[in-house]
């Protein structure tokens, strides 16, 4: 799923039925694949919107990689 989400994020124009089939071979059904793709797409959307508008993290949120 992580590789699927990464490809969906970085190379969305290269997504193909084979990417979905790969998830099915790992036991995910169509509902699980749909839900996971929706979550990844939502986070991509929110992050792009925040970057576009220059939204800063709240003071209580630690930067990624800090304890």
Residue pair 36/5 in contact (Cβ under 8 Å)? The answer is yes
Tell me: pLDDT of 11 over 80: yes
Query: pTM of the predicted model, to two decimals?
Result: 0.74
Weakest mean pLDDT among 1-5, 17-21, 60-64: 60-64
Q: pLDDT tens digits for 25-57?
A: 999 999 999 999 999 999 999 999 999 999 887
All residues at 6 or more sequence positions from 57 whose CB lies less than 8 Å from its CB, including other chains: 63
User: Tokens in use for 64?
Assistant: 């990624």
Crossing angle of helices 17-25 and 2-10, rounded to 10°: 170
Tell me: pLDDT of 65 over 80: no
Tell me: pLDDT of 67 over 70: no
């Amino acid at each position: 799923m992580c590789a699927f989400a990464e490809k969906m994020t970085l190379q969305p124009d290269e997504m193909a039925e084979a990417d979905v089939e790969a998830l099915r071979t790992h036991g995910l059904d169509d509902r699980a694949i749909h839900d996971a793709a929706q979550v990844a797409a939502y986070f991509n959307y929110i992050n792009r919107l925040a970057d576009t508008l220059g939204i800063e993290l709240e003071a209580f949120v630690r930067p990624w990689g800090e304890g």
